[in-house]
Structure 1
Amino acid sequence: MNVRRSAAVLAAVTVIGAAIPAAAAPSPSPSQALPSALYGDKDPKFDGVWRQSLALLAQDTVGEKPAATSVEWLVRQQCEDGGFAAYRPDPTTACDAKTMLDTNATAAAVQALAALGGQDSVADKAVGWLKSVQNEDGGWGYAPGGASDTNSTSVVIGALTAAGEKPDQVEKGGKSPYDALLKLALPCGGDGGGAFAFQPDKKGELTANADATAAGVLGALGKGMVAEAGKKSGAGCADPRTPQQAAANGAAYLARTLAEDDGHLTSALAGSDPQPDHGNTADAVVALAARGDTEQAGKSVRWLEKNSATWAEQGGPAAYAQLVFAAHATGTDPRDFGGTDLVKQLNAMGPAPQTPEKTAAAEDKSDSKSDFFGVWWYVGVCLIAGIGIGFLFTGRKKRQQS
């Protein structure tokens, strides 16, 4: 499972009291056949919509046109009220009070569908649901009603931006998502100065979190998971009174942390030695590039090129998508990423994207249909005009005879 999802799921556990594992789920048994339109072959219980959304978004980012069946699968996962659960095995069964809706999955789906186009009603309905579960502090938790966290708030900001909304104008109790992020930004100085925390701890204190910081930088910039290289402005760490300054502070923290660990982030389970964290490193690359910190972003993406192949193969669609986003943000070729064709690897994990020939044929068919109706529309107009002229002449003749 994507590491960012893991943190959010753990937060949801606190809210709903469910024993949800943070580790990647095992492959399903033969009796649990997965939908053919779904990307990936691991149990989608906790990340089906998330990984499908990232896969489709990554394909669109590199100019691929996702298979219609894969887009339809994602659309059908939506509940009547607009929200998405992590995964619904049977989308023909209506969602009810027991359906665990998920702000992260919903926001990811919005970003994917908005990018693909043609699904405005689905995306707008999802945005409406996200607005309905916004917290009084302006942010979002993983599950509706859960305490706001940096990751969830940031991915929702990306969804709002993708859907054409202005995040600073989406308020609850007079607070916007940016207000929530600023409360989760650590002040300068001390351990982790400038970073974002995931959530305050039980004592209300903030602890630097690299994963949350990567998300927070993008959120503070009003960006989604797909970002272009930005222009750097300002330097050093200052009081995070604005989203822009909080983003600058967070980027400085990420650059400093990455440099200390040979260009990558690390993570460790209790009792284990720190290990390279490929997913969060990829997220950090996107965040740094979006903020204009291209030097460190370039160094870290080169580290990913050399070291991420095995991780991506094990991680599945979301992992390949994260690497595609990192490549895109830094101008790196995703089809030759350290010798790996990320696009080919991603496409092989689900329905093949539409080929240019099929897409062109569909467009030609659509054009032919339009031409057909266009011709008959013209004929119809002419007939109506002729009838009108006939009435005119008939009426004139009658008047002359009278």
Structure 2
Amino acid sequence: MNIRRSAATLAAATVVLGAAVPAAAATPSPAPSVAIPDGLYGTADPTYDGVWRQSLALLAQRTTGVTPADRAVAWLTGQQCANGAFAAFRADTAKPCDAKLMVDTNSTASAVQALAALGGHEAETEKAVTWLKSVQNADGGWGYTGGGASDANSTSVVAGAMAAAGHQPAAVKKAGKSAYDALVKLSLPCDETGGGAFAYQPDKKGALAANADATAAGVLGVLGKGFVTTAGKTSADHTCDPAAARTPGGLARNGAGYLAESVRDTGYLKSALPGAEDQPDYGNTADAVVALAAQGWTEQAKKPLAWLEESSAAWAKQSGPAAYAQLVFAAHAMGADPRHFGGADLVAQLNATGPAPQATTKATDRAAESQDKDDSGSGYGVWWIVGVFLVAGIGIGFLISGRGRKQRQP
């Protein structure tokens, strides 16, 4: 997943570390500088994460059989620009998007995943997909903004959007290269420190550094999955295999191996935010659970899932709808009930952050529908993670441009 932040919000970011937000996700604030629009989930300033958190909230509701409020869906579709792209937030949607508005791949791809899951929004999703294809880089990947250097998080969330919209990510190419080709170049060889992991981006010298956030995203990206997924087939061998990097499945296995090792002892991933104390990263841990489950390593994902059940309540309450959604995705991927998550009902808590939903289907209906989606290979499902990073020119941290500047370590 992608984020950025200003110096003013950096300190606050250490408190809500790991909150899922788009390339420019903002930290929850008790006094938003922008009025919260009707239909939007969450009470924090939406300037940097409005579309991101709304998309995750609607997708989590849909995943749990909840029919979102019409005005919540209308708010999201109303954020789309005429060219199909989404910005993090448009306060005045009556004003056409212009060159000064920074649209981004993360907001656009997250909206595609949500709208595709909701159904009935083919026109909006296809326009968004067309825009995403237009800003694909020659290496097959995507950066946070059109023309920006490819990074693992943006490339993976776009790959998930393509799958959600019915396009095979491996078939979406620029100059003969697909998202998979870009992710291969961002994976660390097995014989190097952090072998099997993904880097967010190469540093100025072209070197790669293992990044847990990017790895969780990369595993889903090479598997062609989005934020929502279910457990894949289990593989017995968890060692990093140099030859495995030649295939998407092998590359995902190597990445999952890195994540499994990172959470083996403590059950959680740690924050590496500059200046922050050594502390757990709830959002990245939730994303790691999804990635491990997608790879079929549910045994390795049990400990971090249990840790989240015991420890994430305060974080989710403070961080808002995107955080609740991440936890829902983690529970769903593991076959757990998000309505009974460590004694909490994540679905009810998520619903309470915005307009009341229309309806909720029965659990049996949700299970059958979920199975139908898995069998059809629609693939709008897993995640992609979002960490806290520095945004160029804005400063607010999300996986966006800041992701590349700050390397996360487990």
User: Structure 2 length as normaliser, TM-score?
Assistant: 0.81
2:384 equivalent in structure 1: none
Q: Please tell me the residue identity of whatever aligns with 2:208.
A: L
Quote the residue 1:388 is aligned against: none
Deviation at 1:7, TM superposition (A): 5.8
Report the equivalent of 1:242. Answer: 247
Deviation at 1:300, TM superposition (A): 1.0
How do 1:1-400 and structure 2 match up within 5 A? 4-6=1-3, 24=27, 26-29=29-32, 32-233=34-235, 235=237, 236-239=239-242, 240-260=245-265, 262-355=266-359
Cα pair distance change 1:63/1:21, threshold 3 Å:
closer
Distance apart, 1:273 and its partner CA: 2.5
Q: State the AA in 1 paired with 2:249.
A: Q
Please say which structure displays the higher CA radius of gyration: 1
Q: Deviations over 1:52-82 (max 9, x none)?
A: 0000000000000000100010001000000
Could you tell me which runs of 5 or more consecutive residues in structure 2 were left unpaired when the two chains were aligned: 8-22, 362-410
CA contact (8 A) 1:182 1:242 kept: no
User: Which fold has the larger relative contact order, with Cα–Cα distance below 8 Å and residues 6 or more apart in sequence?
Assistant: 2
Q: 1:22 to 1:106 in 2, by over 3 A?
A: closer
Alignment match, 2:396: none
Task: Give the C-alpha shift of residue 33 in structure 1.
Answer: 2.2
Deviations 1:252-274 (A, max 9, x none): 000001013x1100013323321
Structure 1 runs of 4+ off > 3 angstroms? Answer: 7-10, 20-23
Give CA deviations for 1:237-264 in whole Å, capped at 9, x if unaligned. 122122211100000000001013x110
**Deviation per CA, 1:1-40, whole angstroms, max 9, x where unpaired?**
xxx3326999xxxxxxxxx9876153444x7421120000
Q: Report the CA distance shift for 1:176/1:225 in structure 2 as closer, same or farther (over 3 A).
A: same
Shift of 1:295: 0.4
Distance in 2 between residues matched to 1:142 and 1:125, nearest whole Å: 18
Q: Give the match's secondary structure for 2:264.
A: helix
Deviation at 1:42, TM superposition (A): 0.3
The structure with the greater share of residues assigned to helix is: 1
Deviation (angstroms), 1:212: 0.3
Q: CA RMSD in A?
A: 1.8
Letter of the 1:26 partner, please give it: S
**CA distance, structure 1, for counterparts of residue 176 and residue 226 of structure 2:** 23
How high is the TM-score relative to the length of structure 1?
0.82
Classify the secondary structure of the residue corresponding to 1:334.
coil
- Structure 1 portions without partners, runs of 5+: 11-19, 358-402
Task: Tell me how far apart the structure 2 counterparts of residues 295 and 341 of structure 1 sit (CA, whole Å).
Answer: 24
Instruction: Using the TM superposition, name which of 179-188 and 225-234 deviates more.
Output: 225-234
Q: 2:28·2:320 contact (CA, 8 Å) conserved in 1?
A: no
